[in-house]
Amino acid sequence: MNDVAIQSESRASAGDVLSSHWTLLPLAEVEALVARIYGLSGSVTRLSSERDETFKFVAATDDAYVLKIANPVEDPASLAFQDGALMHLEATAPDVPVPRLIPTLQGVCGHDLPVAGGAIRKVRLLSYLDGDLLYRLPASSARNHDLGRVLAVLGRGLAGFQGRPPAGKLLWDISHTLDLADLVGHVGGERQPFVRGVLDAFAREIPPVAGSLPHQIIHNDFNPYNILVDATSPLEIAGIIDFGDMVFAPRVNDLAVALAYHLATDDWQDLAGAILRGYSTVTRLEADEVHVLPVLIKARVAMSIIISEWRAASRPDNKDYILRNHHAAWQGLQRLSGLSASDLERFVSSNCEG
């Protein structure tokens, strides 16, 4: 997931899934749970996660899986939406490298686990995608070309998905960038003028054309922590994980999210240009998408700064995790701010022509 996925109160009707606390299940209890629900014996290893309990489960057959046990206040409709997207991709776009849901012994895609207080935690088992997380690898223009291609392939696969996210707004949705205006006061003084400038540009440029942009369900979190690279072919993308931030939005927003994570180095134009060229081999951007993409990229970077500084102030116990992408986001915003709007649009257009 992105720096920190955060929901507004209207989207998380049962409470903020990131602010709630729950008792971690003992590993032995988790292993017994998998055996009872899925008929699989094996061992689990806990993986880091802020939103739920996540484990790698290795069965006695040596097959590996990812086990997710949801936060007690997680919206069941949100999980059903994610499951629907994964099942849609499996049925209609099987070449898209995403996890597959494993059915329970009852043939369903998950299990409701009652816990103390009458709450329910959703248990889901997914296939394990092997590979190296992209953020751990040195940057590569060749790999970024494949990254852009895979993002476009994923977008095409999701375009036919008719599911809709739960009611309410996800703050990590670029479409709702202006909702963050009240949080800008949490941003450090040096960064505030840059962030406010982005919100002003968004207010000028996006509303007039938003309705004309192609809309669909998008992944909305295509960042290097959610992308796996093939260890044997290190220039190829092997997997896409974490569908917890999906929204119905302009499809170009997904490209803006992806590009926002490749701006922090001196060769950012080579890296970002490669993503655009790879994306364009599958999906050609419309003129309005080319025009708004620079503003959307800036908006995503500004969101990262605003939300992470706000969350770090309210969750000092998890500050290091929350701010892990903050420095790169600030560098990226400074680099983008060094170019005029027309220069940025020409950069996007020139890399989408091929």
Q: Using alpha carbons only, what angle is made at residue 76 by residues 33 and 28, rounded to the nearest 5 degrees?
A: 15
Helix or strand or coil: residue 85?
helix
Average of per-residue pLDDT values in the chain: 92
Amino acid found at 192: Q
Residues contacting 145, CB < 8 A, separation 6+:
274, 275, 277, 278
Distance CA 45, CA 291 (A): 46
Token pair of 74, please? Answer: 């997680």
Token pair of 63, please? Answer: 């097959």
Helix or strand or coil: residue 44?
strand
Distance CA 199, CA 201 (A): 5
Query: For residue 10, what pLDDT band results from cuts at 50, 70 and 90?
Result: very low
pLDDT at 254 over 50: yes
Question: What's the pLDDT score for residue 13?
Answer: 37
User: Of the given ranges (31-40, 166-175, 280-289, 312-321), which has the lowest mean pLDDT?
Assistant: 312-321
Question: What's the pLDDT score for residue 9?
Answer: 34
Mean pLDDT for 309-314 is: 91
pLDDT at 22 over 80: no
Query: For residue 319, what pLDDT band results from cuts at 50, 70 and 90?
Result: confident
Query: For residue 19, what pLDDT band results from cuts at 50, 70 and 90?
Result: very low
Secondary structure element (H or E) that encloses residue 70, with its range: strand 64-70
Amino acid found at 210: A
- The domains found in the chain, sorted by start residue, are 27-127 (3.30.200.20), 132-351 (3.90.1200.10)
